[in-house]
Chains A and B, each alone.
Chain A
Amino acid sequence: MTTYIARRLLVFIPTLLVVAVLVFLMISLVPGDPVMEMLGMDAPPDAVAAKRIELGLDKPVWMRLGWWFGRALRGDLGRSYFLGEPVIQAVAERFPVTLSLSLFALLISMGLGVTAGIIASVKHGSAVDWGVMIVALLALSVPGFWLALNLIFLFAVHWRWFPIGGYVSLVQDPLQFVRHLTLPALSLGLVHAGVTARMTRSCMLEVLGSDYVRTARAKGLPEKVVIIRHALKSALIPIVTVIGISAGVLLGGSVIIETVYNLPGAGRLVVEGVQRRDYPVVQGGILFITCIYLGINLLVDILYAWLDPRIRYN
């Protein structure tokens, strides 16, 4: 296991470094002068020149990359043009919102998706199976932000069960925290539950058709025991990989959902950065969220190898 983790880390670190370089180069390739963006088109040439020297923009790209990289390793991702605060502080302040939303959505998508997938596989070929699969397909065809708008109209505008947007932290008021996050998490989680249901069903069907399940049935074990003790246990292993895939989908999806519900999360910060051309924020936000995504995938890979030892040896 230690060798496997070491090998995974050896792949993880260079990937992280290349991602960081790509994010830096991405923003350095932006056409136009960021100084003119900051100071306005009619800024005096002296001020523009001074700002360029201050930001180090008079130096070649490779030199700036070196500086940026050195600072990034110390956790300094530069200052936001508009917020006037360090990017790392802005992202770190907002990330708990994104994390809460993603975790809440993951809970919904795994809870609903795994349950629906198991029911569909057990009732394979029946009307229930068809029903679940049709709903799952509908779920993954609907844009999350459109579902969000419909949920807002029904549950926040029409019935007024939930607030229309905004965020209250868990420490401030746990009940309001749940009330404010329910609709955003449903918008994100329901769409993803479709993918989870389809994957769970196919994993379960494969296991239910295997020899050892047939043996368990032949021994005369009750169907419930066969499904819960024998089939589900094995089928849940590949479902762990779904969590890894979900991390990217949910973290990425939160970018849009946070905008719909006016949630002060890291995703919305990146979107606002793009709209305002606040490049340090875009750079820092994308790098931060991608690092978290890579970290989650590393953990999932390790968990997967722990659950299924065959992975380590391949």
Chain B
Amino acid sequence: MTLPTATGCEPNTVSRGRVRLSERRKTLNRLLRSRTLMIGLFITLALVVLSVGAPLFTHVDPTDMNMSMIMKPPSAQHPFGTDAFGRDLFSWVLYGGRISLLVGLSVAAVTTITGVVLGSLAGYYPRLDSVIMRAMDVLMAFPEILLALGIVAILGPRISNIIIALLITYTPRPARVLRGAFLSLKCEQFVDAARSVGVRDVRIILRHLLPNCVAPLLVQQTYILAIAILAEAGLSFLGVGVPPSFPSLGGALADARAQIRYAPWMSLYPGLYISLLVLGVNLLGDGLRDVLDPRMKV
């Protein structure tokens, strides 16, 4: 239904608004109907709730050592058993999950910012393109975990330093995705139209181009979240990640390695937690990709 107006512009705006609203509703419906996405969301949320609400599920301090309970198998008192220092593994895994999530989410969030800034500058301004992309190529010239290892070696093993190392390592991925999207979008008529009525570059980037890149960026960042969780666990496993005084899943697996003959449960549960978390996030990424960016469908 269109309403008569004096300028003749508003009906169009109203109908465009409706179209946009119905498009959004359609996308939301497709997202809700995606089984992959829903299973991924369920697994991820369940683990997030377990870790964030860890004090609700266990009253044991993960760092509390009990020398009379060294390497005890799973029991009612210790559902995941205990480690070589008599620490409760259930509590260690739940609190360790917090650090995995903290590092993963921080890396995904900060690489979104750096990726958006570098990718949009490279994609929009041809002069900056080669400089930024060559810099990204240099970062991509290193095998990823080796680059992160080198950076952590310089900065020292701290949680903030792992985030910085993974930020530098993974920034090229969103930057390339965004640059690619900008390169194809900036030739579209709506950008020419905006430019011809004198809209400034910053506004074109923020209001016209970026909103059209949300889908591929969201998908990419979901995968970054998954690989950052794996990378943190890997660095902590090597003893150069999260300091040993903090509960970390990679650190727990490093301790388990020495006791694999006598206490296999020590590696079972921390590994299962990381795998489930990464599986959940990967399913989430696949589901988002299938709905929002079907061209990328595997």
A, B: real partners: yes
Across the interface, which residues of A come within 8 angstroms of B145, CB to CB? Answer: 252-253, 255-256
Let me know if B149 is at the binding interface, CB within 8 A.
yes
Are B154 and A27 closer than 8 Å at their CB atoms? Answer: yes
**A289 an interface residue at 8 Å Cβ cutoff?**
yes
* B298:A19 contact, CB within 8 angstroms: no
* Known A143-B275, A149-B253; contact A274-B240, beta-carbon cutoff 8 A: yes
- Check A149–B260 contact: CB distance below 8 A: yes
Query: Which B residue sits closest to A138, measured CB to CB?
Result: B279
What bracket does the count of chain B residues touching chain A fall in? 35 or more
Q: Please, which residues of chain A bring their CB within 8 A of the CB of B257?
A: 149, 260
Interface residues on A, range: 35 or more
Q: How many A-B residue pairs have CB under 8 A?
A: 129
CB within 8 Å of B: which of A16-55?
18-19, 22-23, 26-27, 29-31
**Chain A residues within an 8 Å CB radius of B146:** 251-252, 255, 267, 270, 286, 289-290
* Of B14-22, B50-58, B229-237, the one with at least 4 CB within 8 A of chain A: B229-237
Q: Is the CB of A192 closer than 8 A to any CB of chain B? A: no
Closest Cβ of chain A to B249, distance in Å, is 9
Question: Cα distance A249–B143 when bound, in Å?
Answer: 7
Q: Could you say which residues of chain A place their CB within 8 Å of the CB of B234?
A: 143, 145, 256
Query: Are A286 and B142 touching (Cβ within 8 A)?
Result: yes
B185 CB within 8 Å of chain A:
no
B83 interface residue, CB < 8 Å from A? Answer: no
Chain A stretch 262-277: residues in CB contact (< 8 A) with chain B: 267, 270-271, 273-275, 277
B88 at the binding interface (Cβ < 8 Å)? no
B230 → chain A closest CB, angstroms: 6
Find chain B residues with CB under 8 A from A149 CB.
253, 256-257, 260, 267, 271
Complex Cα distance A69/B80, Å?
52
Write the chain A residue with the least CB distance to B157. Answer: A274
B270 partner residues in chain A, CB cutoff 8 A: 146
Query: Interface code A200-225, partner B: CB below 8 Å = 1, 0 otherwise?
Result: 01100000000000000000000000
Contact A29 to B237, CB < 8 A, known contacts A19-B138, A149-B271: no
Nearest chain-B residue to A194 (Cβ)? B282
A152 interface hit (Cβ, 8 Å): yes
Chain B neighbourhood of A253, CB < 8 A: 145
**Chain A residues whose CB sits within 8 angstroms of the CB of B260 once the complex forms:** 149, 152-153, 157
Cα(A260)–Cα(B267), bound, Å: 13
Chain B, residues 140-178, CB within 8 Å of chain A (1/0): the string is 011111110111111010000000000000000000000
Determine if A146 and B238 form an interchain contact, defined as CB atoms under 8 angstroms apart: no
**Chain B residues with CB under 8 A of A138:** 275, 279
Residues of A within 8 A of B143 (CB): 248-249, 251-252, 289-290, 293
Check: B61 CB closer than 8 A to any chain A CB. Answer: no
On whether the beta carbons of B267 and A146 are closer than 8 Å, the reply is yes
A71 to B23 CA separation, bound complex (whole angstroms)? 62
List, in ascending order, chain A residues with CB within 8 A of B154's CB. Answer: 26-27, 29-31
Flag whether B292 is at the interface (Cβ < 8 A): no
Q: Smallest CB–CB gap between A101 and chain B, Å?
A: 14
Contacts of B137 in A (CB 8 A): 15
Say yes or no for B127: interface residue by CB 8 A criterion: no
| Contact, CB under 8 Å: B271 / A150 | yes
Q: Name the residue on B nearest A202 (C-beta).
A: B298
A276-303 interface bits toward B, Cβ cutoff 8 Å, 1 = contact, 0 = none: 0101001000100110011000000000
A141:B264 contact, CB within 8 angstroms: no
Which residues from chain A contact B147 at a C-beta distance below 8 Å?
286
Sample of 7 more A-B contacts, CB < 8 Å, known A30-B153, A143-B274, A146-B275:
A141-B282, A143-B271, A145-B234, A146-B253, A157-B261, A202-B298, A286-B147
Q: 5 A-B residue contacts at CB 8 Å?
A: A140-B282, A143-B230, A143-B253, A274-B238, A290-B143
Closest 4 CB pairs of A and B: A252-B143, A146-B271, A141-B279, A252-B145
